Amino acid sequence: MMQATSTLRSMDVVPTTPRYDDDGLAANRVLGGDIDAFESIVERWQGPLVNLAYRYCRNRGEAEEMAQEAFMKIFKGLGKWRQDSRFSTWLYAVAANHYRSAMRRRRPVWADMETIEQLVPGGDRSQEVDKTSQAEAIRRAVASLPPKYRDVTVLYYFQDEDLAETSRIMSLPPGTVKARLHRARKMLETKLSTLLQTSPLQEAHQ
């Protein structure tokens, strides 16, 4: 069972004693032949990349596998990082691009509305369980969106609702990101209309 302790923001995961505090310095060391310097990058970014992968696939084992592959792509493509842009932007762009490809190869298990409906609260369960089920149903519904809406939604919320950073990572104009987000929300509302109408979250909020 996954360890869900708090909410994640992309920059929340604190690295564990990396050798190089600066990603640029570590990257230059790696490019200069010091392979071990890459460990600093892995240690610093393992949390965010595994969590971003998890938001795509909703499976812990698969998320780690996807993140590991993303790190390999980052290692091999380190020379392509133009140092005038932020390392994190480039890193997320490489990872998101890889996750998108990995998801295309996968069976679309999340596109099944029946699965989502099964997660809609039943009459005899507690409200706490219902809330968890609803949250899970919403996250699965996001994963079932068409890729271009799913990617924007996943990255936008992962990046702490930072529209500018999301647009940089996706190499899309902010207006396009905004439009896709709007469309994604409409699609989610339509998909989850029955769920949201009976939501204890809403009841608790009122």
Q: Which of 51, 89, 97, 115 binds another protein (CB under 8 A)?
A: 51
Report which DSSP code applies to 195.
Answer: H
Report which DSSP code applies to 124.
Answer: T
Q: Which of 26, 66, 67, 116 binds another protein (CB under 8 A)?
A: 67
Q: How far is the CB of 36 from another protein (least distance, A)?
A: 8
4 counts as binding another protein under rule CB under 8 A: yes
Sign of CA pseudo-dihedral 90, 67, 18, 160: positive
190 counts as binding another protein under rule CB under 8 A: no
Instruction: Quote the radius of gyration of the chain (alpha carbons, Å).
Output: 19
Q: How many residues bind another protein (CB under 8 A)?
A: 49
- How many Å from the N-terminal Cα to the C-terminal Cα in the chain? 32
Q: How far is the CB of 104 from another protein (least distance, A)?
A: 22
| Contacts of another protein in 75-114 (CB under 8 A) | 75-76
Residues 6+ apart with CB under 8 A from 106: 57
Residues 6+ apart with CB under 8 A from 83: 24, 27
CA 140/CA 142 separation, integer angstroms? 5
Asked whether the beta carbons of 99 and 64 are under 8 A apart, the reply is no
Calculate the dihedral angle through the C-alpha atoms of 66, 42, 163, 166, rounding to the nearest 10 degrees.
Answer: -50
Segment contacting another protein by CB under 8 A, of 3-11, 100-108, 119-127, 171-179: 3-11
166 counts as binding another protein under rule CB under 8 A: no
43 counts as binding another protein under rule CB under 8 A: yes
Q: Which of 157, 166, 167, 180 binds another protein (CB under 8 A)?
A: 157
14 counts as binding another protein under rule CB under 8 A: no
Here the tokens at position 77 are 């493509």
38 counts as binding another protein under rule CB under 8 A: yes
Q: What are phi and psi of 126, to 5 degrees?
A: -75, 160
Q: Which of 11, 25, 31, 72 binds another protein (CB under 8 A)?
A: 72
Binding site for another protein (CB under 8 A): 2-8, 12-13, 35-36, 38-39, 42-43, 46-47, 50-51, 54-55, 60, 63-64, 67-68, 71-72, 75-76, 134-135, 138-139, 142, 153, 157-158, 160-161, 185, 188-189, 192, 196, 199, 201-202, 205
